[in-house]
Amino acid sequence: MSIDIPAVLERLAYRYPSLLVDAIESCEPGRRIVAVKNVTVSEEFFQGHFPGAPMMPGVLMIETLSQVATVLLLQETAGGNGRLFLRGIDNAKFRRQVVPGDRLQLEVTLDRRRSALARAVGVARVGDQVVAQMDLLIGREAGPAYASASAGKAASEDLIHPSAIVGRGATIGAGTVIGPHAVVGEHVRIGRSCRVGASSIVDGWTDIGDDCEIFPMASIGLIPQDLKFKGERSRLVIGRRNVFREFVTVHRGTAGGGGETTIGDHNLFMAYVHVAHDCHVGDHTIFGNSATLGGHVTVEDFATISAFSAVHQFCKVGQHAFIGGATIVTKDALPFAKTVGSRPARIFGVNTIGLVRRGFPPDVVAKLRHAYRVLLVSKLNTTRALAQIEADRTLACDEVRYLVGFIRSSTRGVILRRPTRRMEEMVADE
């Protein structure tokens, strides 16, 4: 018979991540079901159970029969929102090892039922031989305990996966999709048309704007990794149209850092990026894979932080800055420039390609390049170089004035080292 096994099993509250039922041979709804599991050598559990002598663990035999029982019980209420969970096992007997190549025939027969509890007899066979048998006690949740009242008002429950856990105080915007096994905390507010991927978590006092996408396994809004944090209420505020790829972590603020981490609009955080507590990220930024921000970092608009780079706590990254791959930033990174290298990082001139792509006029790019030549090549100290730039009327424009102000307002100092000739050749080769 035709049964959508994965769809049915998503309503089992607790189960091993793998689907352990391959096909249904026969089903009498409310009475009996016979299913099949083909045991192959590629099953991941055989890698450690046991090397050189693979056999199927007994606990997965229990899980397999529990999944078959779930299919049988939920055929009666396929349109409902109830969920099932394994409450207990009685009289379990394992009579023979199950090894790669075996074809398990799984038979479950309902015994006694009450409104919230059902007892079933499960028998697993290989050929004519019984390999395992047990009595299963299956509990039933009558309603959608995973969805909150606020979520029900703001979003269709059809868009919240049955296996997701959404706190009762959470607010979910219209059109937002919550994926399988995702967790959304009770203080979270998510805007319209967002997507929260499978097994991701959004927690704490976190506000997320419209049209954001959180990919599987991301962690958004959890407590900071700061020993001074004492559990105080702090916030994470995220704007619109941001993308958080797999395994991204973003932490909310601390009392000592202002109590708030903020992220603007239209930002891309690639896989494994970490944004620490009390950071402030502007708009239209790009973070490469595994880029890391320490606490209290500010990243201004249109900055790019490439893969495996790290920015030290309390540093600032200026507008349109480009941080090269695997760079360590321990001072403020200048706007409009390419900063590359590790201890110390160095300036490789103006980010000309990036500025042209973003529509900067040629005369502005030329003025910025001239200003950087004064800073890096003139052999003047920084104070005199800034004075010369300000006195040169041919360099007058908003971008140059912003560059001068950025340097003068820096509290950690700025990265102004020139690369060696060898480093310039290496970067050119790349």
Block residue for tokens 């010369």: 388
- Return d(Cα 81, Cα 97) in angstroms, integer: 37
Q: Which residues of 208-224 are buried (b: 16+ CB within 10 A; e: fewer)?
A: bbbbbbbbbbbbbbbeb
Catalytic residue among 277, 280, 296, 320: 277
Tokens representing residue 353 in the block: 């390609």
Catalytic residue among 122, 167, 295, 318: 295
In a 3-state reduction of DSSP, which class is residue 417?
Answer: coil
Is residue 277 annotated as a catalytic residue, yes or no? Answer: yes
Can you state the angle between helices 382-391 and 362-377, rounded to 10 degrees?
A: 150
* Alpha-carbon distance values, 35 to 64, 102, 109, 322, 403 (Å): 10, 14, 12, 57, 69
* Alpha-carbon distance values, 341 to 312, 323, 329, 354 (Å): 14, 9, 8, 19
Is residue 278 annotated as a catalytic residue, yes or no? Answer: yes
* Alpha-carbon distance values, 33 to 61, 123, 421 (Å): 16, 11, 75
Q: Please tell me the total number of residues recorded for the chain in this structure.
A: 430
131 burial via Cβ count (<10 Å: 0-12, 13-18, 19+): buried
Catalytic residue among 102, 211, 226, 278: 278
In a 3-state reduction of DSSP, which class is residue 338?
Answer: strand
**β pairing state of 23-28 and 32-38:** antiparallel
| Residues sharing a CB contact under 8 Å with residue 105, sequence separation 6 or more, in sequence order | 25, 34, 35, 36, 124, 125, 126
- Return d(Cα 103, Cα 151) in angstroms, integer: 44
Residues linked to residue 137 through DSSP beta bridges, in sequence order? 88, 119
State the catalytic residues.
277-278, 295
